[in-house]
Structure 1
Amino acid sequence: MESALKFTETHEWVLDNGDGTITMGISNQAQQLLGDVVFVDLPDVGDETEAGEAFSLVESVKAASDLYAPVTGEVVEINDELEGSPELINESPYSAGWIVKIKLTDASELDNLTSSEDYHAANEE
């Protein structure tokens, strides 16, 4: 699945669901840098997002980090599991730790994101 993902420069991942929506979360590298996630400030369903703009917050034992919208659109689903179990972001950043689903305003914005291969090549330690 990870090869199907695209990434932002701010370490959010994006999965094109093929139905005009995307699922997003933070990369494995981002969760490792943050450390143990203790809280996620989830947006509300219906909130508008603008590509590159902060719309949520992830707090860990080390830091609080803004989440930046990878695309412009509308939040159509949030991962309610994170309210009681924010550690899912650490345990499973690419599946159970997803954060929101967004209905795209402009699908061409996906072309601005980095491929999984290029992201990992640029972020190898």
Structure 2
Amino acid sequence: MKQKWKIKETIKRENELVFQLQENAILESTKACGQILVDSDSLAFIYLLEKENEYVYLEIPEKVWKDCKEAVDSNDAFFVKDANGEILLESFKEEIEYLIENIRGNGNYGEDMEKAVSSIFLQ
């Protein structure tokens, strides 16, 4: 079974948006894969991380999308952080922009996902 890590909160820094992980997630030996998937059922984006030759899903829920949009619009860098350190989420901006454009008017992602993305990212 794949691990799924949840974001506890976002932290805004100058030219950066940081996703603070839940307490039981440990970034040690984790690498960013530079790819984002869509989880229409959970209304979330999933950034792929790799840890010990397995994928870890970083769930980016709708509750933090507004912060993501502001960071994308400002051309900020994206990071994920645990209690001991942080890693850069490579290609985050490019991937999220591609998916947002793909979801626009595309019923394949489900009506709820399309509405949620439109209401936040396409305003």
- TM-score normalised by L of structure 1: 0.38
Structure of greater Rg: 2
TM-score (norm. length: structure 2):
0.38
- Compare the two structures and name the one with the higher strand fraction: 2
Greater helix percent: which structure?
Answer: 2
